[in-house]
């Protein structure tokens, strides 16, 4: 029987990767996509598409409820931080299954300052941070970043006037030099870590451009993940971003309580977190145990071409395209 899965944020690389991984499973799934824009490169991956408000707008949840009813959605897989939080907060009124953690963790990990406070309280490693009003040159080098969402956008390195940033919207974090790594991990409904994979990566414009699987820091990472899971309520896929210092210490600086942007890459290295999500939340079966393989990956640019159309609006739910 064909199941219907709603994937949110299909305009971004996370949502698009989720859909490609759904297709990779060969499960009989009808993919409904939604996004805050009418049209993006993600539209061609979906069987049906809907435009939705931003997650923090008051019409978002009613719009999602309408889509659930109209399409008879069996599962929602959110791909953005704000949607993770608001869907979790409103899960009682959504008449379907949603692959999210509960609001304790989605709230903490939506806000990087709350993440810092939580980790400090629980003695979990995390980059030293403070609010802009608390900054008094205690960090030799520092980064000012939005407290909520936005990936790697809106960051400022060593700005001369920290006081211009509001406590409500920003935090100041010690800038740690070293190798950047990203660790995706999956927590089952029974609160067990199913497995994880760590990639060393190079970023371009805030997004992973090149990466390779690494195993050198598995024991340190395992200890950090154990503490995160023990002191939180994360379920499903999540992502830990860290810096490895010259001394070999691992300093986390961000946790994403959702499937992250390298999901399309890591599924080919044995960590199939989209598949695990479908197995647990859609089919009610135990997820496969990851078997991690070594390898490297690079992202490339491709084109989605719609011929014989005059306006973008004609492409929104148009499956007549060329991928080149």
74 Cα distance to chain centroid: 21
Residue 188: pLDDT over 80: yes
Establish if 65 belongs to a structural domain.
yes
- Could you tell me if 182 and 170 lie in one domain? no
- Could you tell me if 14 and 50 lie in one domain? yes
Q: Which of 28-32, 38-42, 43-47, 161-165 has the lowest mean pLDDT?
A: 38-42
For residues 159 and 141, give the distance between their C-alpha atoms in angstroms, rounded to a whole number. 10
If 0-12 CB within 10 Å is exposed, 13-18 middle and 19+ buried, where does residue 125 land? middle
For residues 113 and 148, give the distance between their C-alpha atoms in angstroms, rounded to a whole number. 9
Residue range 231-244: mean pLDDT, rounded? 97
- Could you tell me if 188 and 269 lie in one domain? yes
Residue 206: pLDDT over 80: no
Q: Mind giving me the DSSP string for 95-114? A: SSEE----HHHHHHHHBHHH
What tokens does 291 get?
A: 């078997």
- Could you tell me if 167 and 213 lie in one domain? no
Q: Give the residue numbers spanning the domain of 135.
A: 128-174
Residue 152: pLDDT over 70: no
133 Cα distance to chain centroid: 29
**8 Å CB contact between 98 and 89:** no
- Could you tell me if 168 and 76 lie in one domain? no
- Could you tell me if 191 and 216 lie in one domain? yes
Mean pLDDT, the chain, whole residue set: 94
pLDDT digits (tens, 9 = 90+) for 99-132: 999 999 999 999 999 999 999 999 999 999 999 9
Strand partners, 75: 5, 97
Distances (CA, A) of 194 to 12, 20, 132, 254, 297: 26, 22, 38, 21, 23
Please state the pTM of the whole predicted model: 0.94
Q: Please report, rounded to a whole number, the percentage of residues in the chain having pLDDT higher than 70.
A: 98
Residue range 20-28: mean pLDDT, rounded? 97
Residue range 126-152: mean pLDDT, rounded? 91
Residue range 47-67: mean pLDDT, rounded? 97
Q: What is the pLDDT of residue 208?
A: 79
- Could you tell me if 184 and 162 lie in one domain? no
Neighbours of 127 (CB within 10 A): 22
For residues 29 and 235, give the distance between their C-alpha atoms in angstroms, rounded to a whole number. 22
């Amino acid at each position: 029987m064909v199941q219907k899965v709603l994937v949110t944020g299909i305009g971004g690389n996370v949502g698009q990767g989720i859909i490609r991984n759904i297709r990779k499973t060969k499960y009989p799934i009808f993919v409904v996509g939604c996004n805050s824009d009418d049209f993006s490169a993600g539209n061609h991956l979906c069987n049906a598409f809907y435009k939705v408000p931003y997650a923090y707008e008051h019409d978002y949840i009613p719009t999602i409820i309408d889509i659930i009813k109209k399409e008879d959605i069996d599962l929602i897989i959110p791909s953005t931080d704000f949607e993770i939080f608001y869907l979790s907060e409103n899960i009682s009124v959504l008449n379907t299954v949603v692959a999210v953690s509960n609001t304790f963790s989605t709230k903490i990990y939506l806000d990087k300052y709350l993440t810092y406070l939580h980790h400090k309280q629980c003695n979990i490693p995390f980059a030293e941070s403070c609010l802009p009003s608390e900054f008094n040159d205690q960090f030799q080098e520092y980064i000012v970043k939005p407290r909520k969402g936005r990936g790697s956008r809106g960051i400022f390195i060593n700005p001369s006037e920290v006081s211009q940033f509001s406590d409500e919207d920003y935090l100041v974090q010690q800038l740690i030099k070293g190798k950047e790594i990203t660790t995706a991990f999956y927590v089952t409904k029974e609160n067990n870590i199913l497995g994880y994979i760590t990639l060393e990566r190079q970023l371009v414009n805030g997004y992973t451009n090149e990466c390779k699987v690494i195993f050198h820091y598995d024991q340190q990472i395992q200890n950090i993940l154990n503490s995160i899971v023990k002191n939180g309520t994360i379920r499903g896929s999540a992502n830990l971003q860290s810096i490895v210092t010259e001394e070999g210490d691992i300093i986390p600086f961000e946790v994403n309580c959702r499937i992250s942007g390298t999901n399309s890459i890591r599924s080919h290295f044995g960590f199939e977190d989209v598949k695990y999500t479908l197995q647990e939340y859609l089919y009610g079966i135990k997820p496969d145990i990851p078997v991690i393989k070594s390898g490297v990956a690079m992202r490339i640019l491709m084109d989605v071409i719609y011929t014989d159309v005059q306006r973008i609006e004609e492409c929104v739910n148009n499956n007549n395209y060329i991928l080149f």
